Amino acid sequence: GEDVEQSLFLSVREGDSSVINCTYTDSSSTYLYWYKQEPGAGLQLLTYIFSNMDMKQDQRLTVLLNKKDKHLSLRIADTQTGDSAIYFCAESFNSGNTPLVFGKGTRLSVIA
């Protein structure tokens, strides 16, 4: 079945690295996504990774994908107070034309 699991909360100090983890169950996933939701707003795509990649780096963001363990992680280097938000992991499937499956979201709190 389709299921995406994330831990619900993470707290880090400003300047430290944050690592948000996600596990998924469907090995046919083609793309995996990280969305960010700031307070009072909708979700915005932060980054994504294609399933044939192991890693993707984008400025302070590093996405790691372990297909064998069906594990996805998002690392935010030098975490800032502006990174405080809810981060959602999501997956899409072969056809592409099906709704994304979202995790419940991880609330990241950054302590100054």
Residues of this chain that interact with another protein (CB under 8 A) are 30-31, 33, 40-45, 48, 88, 92, 96-97, 99-100, 102-105
Q: Between residues 7 and 14, which has the closer beta carbon with respect to another protein? A: 7
Shortest Å distance, C-beta 83 to another protein: 19
Best CA proximity match to 10, nearest among 66, 75, 57: 75
Shortest Å distance, C-beta 53 to another protein: 13
> 107: burial class by Cβ within 10 Å (0-12, 13-18, 19+)?
middle
Q: Between residues 82 and 99, which has the closer beta carbon with respect to another protein? A: 99
* CA–CA gap between residue 17 and residue 35 (Å, rounded): 18
| The two three-digit tokens of residue 44, written as one number | 């915005």
| The two three-digit tokens of residue 105, written as one number | 């979201």
Shortest Å distance, C-beta 17 to another protein: 24
Q: Between residues 11 and 98, which has the closer beta carbon with respect to another protein? A: 98
